[in-house]
Structures are given as C-alpha cells and as structure tokens.
Amino acid sequence: MATDLVQLSLDGPIATVVLNRAEKLNALNREMLSALERCADELERSQDTRVVLLTGTGKAFCVGADIFEWSDLSPLEMGRRWIRDGHRIFARYARLPQPLIAVLNGYTFGGGLELALAADLRLAAEGVQLSFPEVKLGIIPGWGGTQRLAQLIGPSRAKQMIFSGERLLAQQAEKWGLVNEVVPSDSDKLTQRALALAQQIAANGPVAVQMTKQLIDAGMAANGDAGLVLETLASSLASFTADAQEGVAAFRQRRPPQFSGR
C-alpha cells in the first residue's frame, strides 16, 4: 500500500514505511498521522512481515508535528484529537508484533524523535541531529517524549535534552543510548546496514523474537500509562499559553521568540 505522504512497501519478511513529505522535512500533519495508522493496520495483519523499517525521504527523518496545523486547533481539539491521536498511533507502532527499527536519515526533531522513540531500535547516519525543540516554541513534547525519552536514557539526560532544546549529534546520542548505532553518512551505508540488521533479525525464530519484544516491553511498562495521561493534559494546556503563541509567531516570522513566562 502507498499513499503520497506515507509509503509502505512489503518485501518478503521486511516491510519499510517511508515518511514522504520532503519539502516540509516530513513534518507530521493530520493526513500523515492517518496514513501512518493505516500502515499500522496493514503491518499488524501481515503474516509475512518479520521486521519493519521506518525512515524518511530527503534531508530529514521527521522534524516533528506540523506547527501550522496544531497551532490552529482549539484547546479541546488539541487534547482530544491531536495529542491523543499521536499517542494512540505511536503506541500502535511501539506495540507492533514485529521489531521496528527507526532509520534516522536526517533531522529527527520533536514528534519525529517521539516516533523514533516508539521504535525498538534506532540507527542513525553520522552527523544526524536529534532534538526536542518544543520549549523553544513555548510548548512541551506531547507525543510520548516526556515518558519514552526518560525511560530510554534516564531522567537526567532526558531533562537536559528537553529543557535545553539543544541538538545532539548522532555520535553523542549513541553514547547516551538514544541511538543503537551510528553509520557513516556515505550514500546508502545507512540503508545497507538497516537491511543487513533486518535480515539478521528476520532469519531468527519469529515467535521467539516477537515474544521477547513483548516481554521486555511488559517489564519496562510496570509504571502503567499515568505519565502519558498527564502528558496529554499538560501538553494541551501548554499549547495555549501566551508563550506558545509567541513561539509559533516567531517561528512563522523566522525571528527569535520573546517569552514572558505567561
């Protein structure tokens, strides 16, 4: 199956999902979220697929939520639809029966990093930048970032990334355990490594691989979903502060924001 904005190809045991909105650096709009969900339907049903790769076209993996879409929503729409849709769809990717490998070909920011965090493994090309820039807009990561990042790299480093909004190079992200492997950025090396790893996993007993995925995830989820519920509420509120309006206006006007703390 393929849509314009998200493409799914099934090739024997390996499926590839490609975010395909290169001119907007694969920023996620509502149409892409729906397309991602339709791909998840298909992947969940696919008997043949043993490993799923998720990547982007152009110079970005994904630069996050489409600022021009969410900034026009009302507070209730924000919480009920935008945030909850993202949570549900990203959770479906996290819970795919097959291992999911995020193949980070370029900028991995905000919601793009949250989507990558829903994957089981992350491979990145050397030089790729990863960041949670939400605080620069006066908002907070709202698609699971506050929860999954801290679970993966620990609360202290998660706070450093989220509070500062600074960009981490893939090499540093690897040291922090955010990225499994960094691959030289020469053309096709990342794809070759992703395919080789996918083939290695696909050659193993699929039931054993899928059961171990679920066991590891069940062990990690001992705290339940309370953090995600809080994130939905906080993210909806934070998106309607004067600071969030200023952050979005500054992004639109390509100028530094002047935050007032309100």
- State the minimum distance, in angstroms, from the CB of residue 119 to ligand COA: 18
- State the minimum distance, in angstroms, from the CB of residue 168 to ligand COA: 14
Vertex 39: Cα angle to 77 and 162 (nearest 5): 55
Number of residues that bind ligand COA (CB under 6 A): 15
Q: How far apart are CA 42 and CA 136, in angstroms?
A: 36
116 is a site residue for ligand COA (CB under 6 A): no
Choose the stretch contacting ligand COA; rule: CB under 6 A; options: 21-29, 32-40, 78-86, 174-182: 21-29
Q: How many residues does the chain have?
A: 262
- State the minimum distance, in angstroms, from the CB of residue 231 to ligand COA: 14
Instruction: Give the residue numbers marked as catalytic.
Output: 114, 134
Choose the stretch contacting ligand COA; rule: CB under 6 A; options: 12-20, 24-32, 179-187, 196-204: 24-32
- State the minimum distance, in angstroms, from the CB of residue 108 to ligand COA: 10
68 is a site residue for ligand COA (CB under 6 A): yes
Dihedral-angle region of residue 138 (phi above 0 means left; psi in -120 to 50 means alpha; beta otherwise) = left
- State the minimum distance, in angstroms, from the CB of residue 29 to ligand COA: 8
Contact predicate 76/237, CB 8 Å:
no
Structure tokens at 60: 């970005």
Q: How far apart are CA 251 and CA 257, in angstroms?
A: 8
Phi/psi for 60 (5° steps) reads: -130, 150
Judged by CB under 6 A, which of 67, 104, 179, 238 binds ligand COA?
67
Q: How far apart are CA 242 and CA 246, in angstroms?
A: 6
How remote is the C-alpha of 219 from its chain's centroid? 22
107 is a site residue for ligand COA (CB under 6 A): yes
Best CA proximity match to 147, nearest among 227, 209, 247: 227
Structure tokens at 251: 């992004």
Contact predicate 239/78, CB 8 Å:
yes
- State the minimum distance, in angstroms, from the CB of residue 228 to ligand COA: 17
Residues 137-156 that bind ligand COA (CB under 6 A): 137
Choose the stretch contacting ligand COA; rule: CB under 6 A; options: 30-38, 129-137, 170-178, 232-240: 129-137
Cβ-closest position to ligand COA: 110
Structure tokens at 5: 């904005």
Which residue lies nearer to ligand COA by CB, 167 or 193? Answer: 167
86 is a site residue for ligand COA (CB under 6 A): no
Say which amino acid occupies 221.
A
Structure tokens at 136: 């620069």
Site string for ligand COA, 27-56 (x = CB under 6 A): x-----------------------------
65 is a site residue for ligand COA (CB under 6 A): yes
